[in-house]
Amino acid sequence: MKFPAFLSRLIVDSTGKFRYETTVFTFWAGSIVLSLVFLILFSAIYFMTDSILLKKTIIFQSILLGFLTGTFGAWYLFAEKTELKINLGLTDWKWLRFLKGFAISGSLIILVFLLFSLLGWIQISFFPATQSLPAVAQGMGVLIILTLVPTVSEELMFRGFPLQVNSRQSDRLYRIVFLSVIFSLLHFNVAGVSAVSFLNFFLLGVWFSYGNLAEGTVWYSSGLHFGWNFIQTAVFGLSAREMGIPGQSLATLEFSGPDWVTWLTGTGNGVENGVVISLIIALLIRREYLRTL
C-alpha cells in the first residue's frame, strides 16, 4: 500500500509493513466505532429506562462487545498468517487462570488493608449496622457487573491483541511501557487522581502485562485486574459512590491519619494513591517478569 511521503514514515516501517503503533491505534479506533454501533443497537433500551445503573451497564456492555469484535477483526487484518489464532481457553481450561488472577490480587488487597489496620493507619468497620444483608448482596451483585465488564474491556484493549500480536522478545519491553503509559493516562478522570496514583496505574499496567505474558492468556490479567477493582469496591466500599451504589459494601474504611500516613496508605478513592502499594506492585512485576524468562 502506497502512502504520501510525509505520512509513510508514521504509518509503515522501512520494510513496508505497518508500524506497531499504527496497528494498535487502528485497532482502538475500529473497536470504538464498533462500540458505538452496539450502543446504537441498544439505544431503544437506553432511552426507555430511567435507571442510571442500567444505562451504565448498556454503555459498558457496548464497549465490551466492540472491543471483543474488534479483537477478532484485528487478528484477521494484522496478524501474520502463521500466528493467526485466537485461543479463548475454553478447551484447555485457560479460563481458570481468571480465578487464579482474581485470588492473587483480591487476597493482596485484603492483606494490605488488614496490615494497615493492625498498624493503626486505617479503621475497618465490618458489616456496619447501617447496612442490611439484602442491600449488601444487591450492591455486590451490581458491582460484579460494573467492575467485571469494564475490566475485561480494558484487558482486551491493552493486554489482548496490542500486547500479543506478532510479539517478539526484542520489542516486548517497548510494548509494555507504551501500553502502560496510555493505560495510566486513561485514568485521568478517576476521583482523587494524583501523581502517585498515575505512577501506580502505570505499574499496574506493567504487572498485568507481564502476568499476561507469563500465563499466556488474557484471562489471567483480567482476573488480576478484576480482583483489584472488585475487592476494593465491593468489600471495602472504595469508589462505590462513584459507581452509584454507596453504602452497600461488606466493610467501610476510614483514612483518618496525618498526611504522611495517607501518603503511605492511599485514600478513600483507592489504594493506588499510596506509596506502599507502589513497592508491592514493583515486587509483583519482578515476579511475573522472571516467569517470562
Residue 224 clears pLDDT 90, i.e. is over it? yes
Q: What is the pLDDT of residue 8?
A: 62
* C-alpha–C-alpha distance, residues 180 and 194, integer Å: 17
> What percentage of residues in the chain have a pLDDT greater than 90?
42
Q: What is the pLDDT of residue 141?
A: 74
Residue 99 clears pLDDT 50, i.e. is over it? yes
pTM for the whole structure: 0.88
* C-alpha–C-alpha distance, residues 69 and 178, integer Å: 23
Residue 79 clears pLDDT 80, i.e. is over it? no
Contact 278, 199 (CB under 8 A): yes
Q: What is the pLDDT of residue 87?
A: 57
Cell numbers for 279, please give them.
Answer: 513497592
Please, what is the angle between helix 133-155 and helix 218-230, to 10°? Answer: 140
- Over residues 117-145, the mean pLDDT reads 75
Highest mean pLDDT among 45-54, 267-276, 278-287: 278-287
Burial of 257: CB neighbours in 10 Å, binned 0-12, 13-18, 19+: middle
Nearest to 234 by CA among 122, 155, 148: 148
Cell numbers for 169, please give them.
Answer: 522478545
Q: Buried b vs exposed e over 185-219: b needs ≥16 C-beta within 10 Å?
A: eebeebeebeebbbebbbbbbbbbbbbbbbbebbb
- Over residues 273-283, the mean pLDDT reads 93
The better pLDDT of the pair 132, 52 is held by 52
pLDDT digits (tens, 9 = 90+) for 7-60: 566 676 666 677 888 889 999 999 999 999 999 999 999 899 888 878 888 999
The label of the residue with cell 442490611 reads: 132
